Chains A and B, each alone.
Chain A
Amino acid sequence: MIRALLLFLALASPAAAQVAPPPPAAPPTLAPPSLAAQLSVSTIEVTTAFTGGEILVFGATERLIGAQGDEVVVLATGPTTSIVVRQKVEMLGAWINGPSARFNRVPTYWALASTSPVATLLDGVERQDLRLGLDLMPLVQLGARGPQFRAALASLKQDAGLWVDQVKPVEVSGGRLFHARLPLPATVATGAYQIQVMLVREGRVVARQELRMDVVRSGTAAWIADVARGQPVLYGLACILLAAFAGWIGSVLFRRG
């Protein structure tokens, strides 16, 4: 009986020691896909000195990143808003705002980056499901019809730096460490930002991690905007008094002689 127990322990202990690292003998296709990603900061503060910033996503994959191995795709989306796109038309010689189309739930910020161009990593159906592409964004157009409004929205947003479509790739160092820098212009909207980090292997997304970042107004800028929105009467009166006082004090200070 005791011999049997000892034999069992002798057999079991090497197996127990192998629990922590994944079993090396297991076939590669059954290995758990692994991805770990993190943001450099969880909050970006918009102060009166804010001139823009960036979302820095970094992380590591279990396997080597490269043409034959894993690939990383990062998609960041900001809070949504409603936007009106107006087409300028010529009327009596002058250019005026003509037909307009309204888009609801438009992301104020959208950025995509990956280790290789997304189109080469995933097929059309997969990209469509994950909305990995400016042209795949689900936008409902109200008002004027025509594809030119959506195209104009995308091009103006890209010009403003608010929609970033694979401008810079996700960079890889040491084979398994990656980082992506997504630029945030100064005009970025405040609110909650979602950052999805996806691990692509053999044309399929095998792991996904969602990160959250907040862009908040802080300091004097936040305070002014809050007062202006929350107490417009008080704010209006304060603007009158401050401007009058500034004009008066300025003329006293800089009066000649």
Chain B
Amino acid sequence: MQVYLPIAEMSVDALLLLGIGFGVGWLSGLFGVGGGFLLTPILILIGIPAPVAVGSGANQTLGASVSGLMAQWRRGNVDVRMGTVLLVGGFAGSVLGVQLFAWLRRAGQVDLAVAIFYVVVLGTVGGLMVRESLTAILRRRRARPRRLHEHFWMHGLPLKMRFRKSRLYISVIPPLLIGFAIGLLSAVMGVGGGFMLVPAMIYLLGMPTAVVIGTSLFQVVFVTANVTFLQAIQVGSVDIVLTLLLLAGGVVGAQIGAAMGTKLRGEETRALLGALVLSVALALLWDLLRVPEQLFVIGPAP
């Protein structure tokens, strides 16, 4: 069944979009991340123009994260104070990111920039996650006790603040910077940034795992809302029909994935998620390096 996407100005098989939504939703439910990092490359792969894929991907991630945030909120797993600090950085980052995106679009390098961002960010995050989780699995075998969290030099910077839910007393500068970076990447890559935010909160900020998912969802929902809004105004590339079709498949998949996710152990989940992130990065890297089928591309003049 073909459906015409009014902003992308093309018609796509609705069942294909529902299927992609379901698959990505299932994985995101399984791993507790928004899944935008998978969605945007897949949309570009099936021929959706990169700006529409990024704008609608952010919008879809917003929808996919709302219910998760509400569930975490009810369980009291959201550190609002930390979330707000992250959000302040995130808003600034996404405003800058959308400007950068609009500029790249004029320069004709959106596809390259999106691909490079994906390869570098996903490659780094995926590699780190795989390494860390494998170390953790090995360490568990040896049954060595682990410290609550480690203090880095950056936690001692000025402007210290107490985050009760996270049991932290650290400088606000690291969370602000992390929020800023995630906001910027969110705008350029069309992702919520959960897959980067979760490890950053655990390893860089030392937050307890219990509040990490809820707090990252808090940040993701508001940053993707901001990105959606800015992309709609500045680039005009949010396709609501595309978003809703992806969401329709996504919410079903997410419930099934979340049910299966409870059966996985933390380290194994992280290792699998890391492997998935890493393979997306490698696929995109291959796409960048291989000789393209078409040596020319056409696009509307800016």
Contact = CB atoms under 8 A, between A and B. Distances in A.
A46 to B, nearest CB: 6
Contacts of B228: 236, 239-240, 243
A140 interface: no
A186 B109 contact: no
The bracket for how many chain A residues form the interface is 35 or more
Contacts of B238: 228, 235-236, 239
Interface string A229-252: 100110111111011101110111
A148 B68 CA distance: 52
Contacts of A217: 6
Contacts of A246: 63, 244, 247-248, 251
B240 A242 contact: yes
Contacts of A9: none
A217 B247 CA distance: 25
Interface string A139-175: 0000000001100110011000000000000000000
B94 to A, nearest CB: 13
B66 A240 contact: no
B67 A251 contact: yes
- Of B4, B64, B225, B291, the most chain A CB neighbours within 10 A belong to B4
Given A50-B11, A83-B301, A240 B62 contact: yes
A82 interface: yes
Interface stretch (B159-167, B171-179, B229-237): B229-237
A229 B299 CA distance: 19
Contacts of A242: 63, 240, 243-244
Contact of A243 (B109, B243, B290): B243
Interface string A204-227: 000000000000010011101100
B210 interface: no
A23 interface: no
B15 interface: no
Nearest to B65: A247
Interface string B1-28: 0111011011100000000000000000
A228 B6 contact: yes
Nearest to A83: B298
Interface stretch (A26-34, A63-71, A89-97): A89-97
Interface of B: 2-4, 6-7, 9-11, 59-60, 62-68, 70-71, 108-109, 111-112, 221, 225, 228-233, 236, 238, 240-241, 243-244, 247-248, 250-252, 254-255, 259, 288-292, 294-302
8 shortest A-B CB distances, which residue pairs? A250-B251, A251-B67, A236-B232, A152-B296, A243-B63, A247-B63, A82-B301, A186-B11
Given A88-B297, A248-B66, 10 more contacts: A83-B301, A84-B301, A88-B295, A97-B108, A240-B225, A244-B221, A244-B225, A247-B64, A250-B250, A253-B251
